[in-house]
Amino acid sequence: MANNSTFEDALLRLKSLTDLTDINPEVIEALLHPKEIMSVSLPVRMDNGSKQYFTGYRCRYNNILGPTKGGIRFHPQVNQDEVKALALWMTIKCAVAELPFGGGKGGVTVSPKDLSPMELERLSRAYVRSLADFIGPHRDIPAPDVYTNSRIMGWMMDEYESVKREHSPDVITGKPIELGGSVGRDDATGRGAYLCALELIKKMEWQATEITVAVQGFGNGGYHVARLLQQAGCKIIAISDSLGGIYSEQGFDIESLWQEKQQSRKIRGVYCDGSICEMIEHTTISNEQLLTLDVDILIPAALEGVITRHNADAIQAKAIIEIANGPILYEADKIIHEKGIRVVPDVLANAGGVSVSYFEWVQNRSGQIWLIDEVHQKLKDKMTDAFLNVWQIAEDEKLSLREAAYVKALRRINSAISAHGTKEYFAKQ
Domain boundary at 344, 367, 396, which? Answer: 344
* 207 and 166 both lie in a single domain: no
402 sits in which H/E element: helix 401-420
* 226 and 325 both lie in a single domain: yes
Q: Are strands 297-300 and 319-321 parallel, antiparallel or unpaired?
A: parallel
Say which DSSP state 316 is in: -
* 65 and 132 both lie in a single domain: yes
* 192 and 338 both lie in a single domain: yes
Within-domain flag for 126: yes
Within-domain flag for 4: no
Within-domain flag for 372: no
What's 110's domain CATH number? 3.40.50.10860
Q: How far is CA 68 from CA 65, 172, 214, 318, 417, in A?
A: 8, 12, 33, 35, 16
Domain boundary at 179, 200, 229, which? Answer: 179
* 202 and 234 both lie in a single domain: yes
* 42 and 164 both lie in a single domain: yes
Within-domain flag for 326: yes
* 89 and 230 both lie in a single domain: no
* 196 and 149 both lie in a single domain: no
* 138 and 50 both lie in a single domain: yes
Within-domain flag for 309: yes
Catalytic residue among 69, 84, 105, 318: 105
Q: Please tell me the distance from the alpha carbon of residue 186 to that of residue 142, in angstroms, as a whole number.
A: 15
Asked if 15 is an active-site residue, the reply is no
Q: Please say whether the dihedral angle defined by the alpha carbons of residues 66, 61, 393 and 187, taken in this order, is positive or negative.
A: negative
What's 217's domain CATH number? 3.40.50.720
Count of domains forming the chain: 2
* 237 and 167 both lie in a single domain: no
Within-domain flag for 375: no
- pLDDT tens for the chain, 429 residues long, are 445 789 999 999 999 887 776 788 888 999 999 999 999 999 999 999 999 999 999 999 999 999 999 999 999 999 999 999 999 999 999 999 999 999 999 999 999 999 999 999 999 999 999 999 999 999 999 999 999 999 999 999 999 999 999 999 999 999 999 999 999 999 999 999 999 999 999 999 999 999 999 999 999 999 999 999 999 999 999 999 988 999 999 999 999 999 988 888 888 888 777 766 778 889 999 999 999 999 999 999 998 899 999 999 999 999 999 999 999 999 999 999 999 999 999 999 999 999 999 999 999 999 999 999 999 999 999 999 999 999 999 999 999 999 999 999 999 999 998 888 888 888 876
Q: What is the pLDDT of residue 275?
A: 67
* 167 and 211 both lie in a single domain: no
* 114 and 203 both lie in a single domain: no
Q: How far is CA 132 from CA 119, 135, 156, 157, 208, in A?
A: 20, 6, 10, 10, 47
Domain boundary at 149, 179, 209, which? Answer: 179
Within-domain flag for 388: no
Domain hosting residue 95, numbered range: 35-179
Q: Which residues contact 219 (CB under 8 A, 6 or more apart)?
A: 146, 241, 301, 302
Within-domain flag for 395: no
